[in-house]
Amino acid sequence: MKKTKAASDTIAVPQSTQPLKAWIFKNWQLYAMLLIPVVLTIIYKYVPMYGIQIAFRDYKANRGITGSEWVGLKWFIQFFSSPNCGRMIANTFLLSLYSLLWSFPIPIILALIINQLRFKRLKRVTQTVLYAPHFISTMVVCGMIRIFLSPSGGLINLIAGTSIDFLSEASAFRTIYIASGIWQDAGWGIIVYLATLSNIDMSNYEAAKIDGASMFQRIMAIDLPELKPTIVLMLIMSAGNLMNIGFEKVWLLQTDLNKATSDVIAVYVYQQGIENAKYSYATAVGLFNTVVNIILLIVVNKLAKKMSDDVSFV
């Protein structure tokens, strides 16, 4: 018995000794399909990185990038010396952080609830209703927000019996931004989680029911452990965009009276680069924002790696 066990332990799965060229030639269709997104990524993501050096030059369009004067960290120093620098960084970070804290758990909770529905028609209708807001453009969403929050005839003011101009209140801007974001994107965010839950073996639920487990206990013992790698992965991806506030919505909802909380880096880059034609300065501010994003991504990835060994990027 010992010899048999030892012999069975030494059995190894045979590895392919096929040369790499022969393997690629055999599966050339797959590599041809992979070539298209790789080329597009290189063209639209990596090639434009050449222009990052504008952040370190006094860019003049008639001189070109390499012909413009090299000024080093001049534009970065100018940004950090500006009176609104601290406010913009704080607004960008807080708005992103609050959005992540409030909006990240909602799709998970919705996916767990929908997964418990046993009537397929009700399940499909619920999913469709939740998906629908995602396909409404940001422009239309902001128009709806302005109508609902209008001080004269707005739905919220009619219900509350008030005439408050919420968009002029700096303290209300973050709540409006986050709440509208949850309404628009929470339904779309459940797709990944529902796909993960659909792969769970139904026999696990049946065994749990036989053992007398309640619905909450089944969610805690079966659903959440299955979702854990997906949750960690989505958290890492969300943290990588922590400083990337949606420019369009902030720009469309911003007023002179709510700038105390709505003045973010993305809008500032647009104003300086497009409206004021300060290309070098705007590039420097955008580059700073990107570097902060990379640092946050690495930090969150390290923390997530301690939570789950199954998922990590770095």
Q: What is the pLDDT of residue 290?
A: 87
- The amino acid at residue 282 is A
Q: Is residue 106 classed exposed, middle or buried when 0-12, 13-18 and 19+ CB atoms within 10 A define those classes? A: middle
Give the separation between CA 107 and CA 189, rounded to whole angstroms: 5
pTM of the model: 0.80
Total length of the chain: 314
279 contacts 260 by C-beta, under 8 angstroms:
no
Q: What is the pLDDT of residue 314?
A: 54
What is the tens place of the pLDDT at every residue in 180-227?
999 999 988 899 999 898 888 888 888 888 888 888 888 888 899 889
Q: Where are the alpha helices (DSSP H) in 104-214?
A: 105-115, 120-131, 138-148, 155-160, 170-197, 202-210
Q: What is the pLDDT of residue 308?
A: 63
Give the separation between CA 23 and CA 178, rounded to whole angstroms: 49
Q: Provide the 8-state DSSP code for 69.
A: E
Q: What is the pLDDT of residue 145?
A: 93
Q: What is the pLDDT of residue 12?
A: 45
Please give the mean pLDDT across all residues of the chain: 85
Q: What is the pLDDT of residue 5?
A: 45
Low-confidence ranges of the chain (pLDDT < 70): 1-18, 307-314
Q: What is the pLDDT of residue 140?
A: 93
279 contacts 295 by C-beta, under 8 angstroms:
no
Q: What is the pLDDT of residue 70?
A: 93
